[in-house]
Amino acid sequence: MIERVFAALVLAVCAVLLVRLLLGSRRRYRFDTAVRRFWNAVRRKTTGSWRTIVQMRRNRAAQREAERVAKDAIERARSRGDWDGNVYTPKSFGKPPRDSKPPRDKMH
């Protein structure tokens, strides 16, 4: 199957080159310009498509990483505090121990 595809491509290229040889100089110049424009357009489209695919893969990878980091943060928050209904109180909000007779409140 692949051999037939390659054979068809070679036959098409040979036919285009034969037509180019049969043209006069002015028409050959215009033909070459048209082929060059077509080739540049195809190249731009394929390059743009490839860049889009690569960008989509990067976005997906960044999204997965962000989801992983968020899940880790949620798990850390669950294990570092107490829940009273829907109110979360982190253990780090506990007051520091006070001295026996403080002259004033040292919290602030």
- Exposed e or buried b per residue across 47-57, where buried means at least 16 C-beta atoms within 10 angstroms of its C-beta: eeeeeeeeeee
60-102 pLDDT, tens digit per residue, is 999 999 999 999 988 887 777 777 888 877 777 766 666 666 5
Residue 47 lies in a domain: yes
Count of structural domains, the chain:
1
Instruction: Kindly state whether residue 72 falls inside one of the protein's structural domains.
Output: no
Sign of CA dihedral 46, 52, 58, 64: negative
Mean pLDDT for the stretch of residues 20-26: 91
Residue 47's domain comprises 41-65
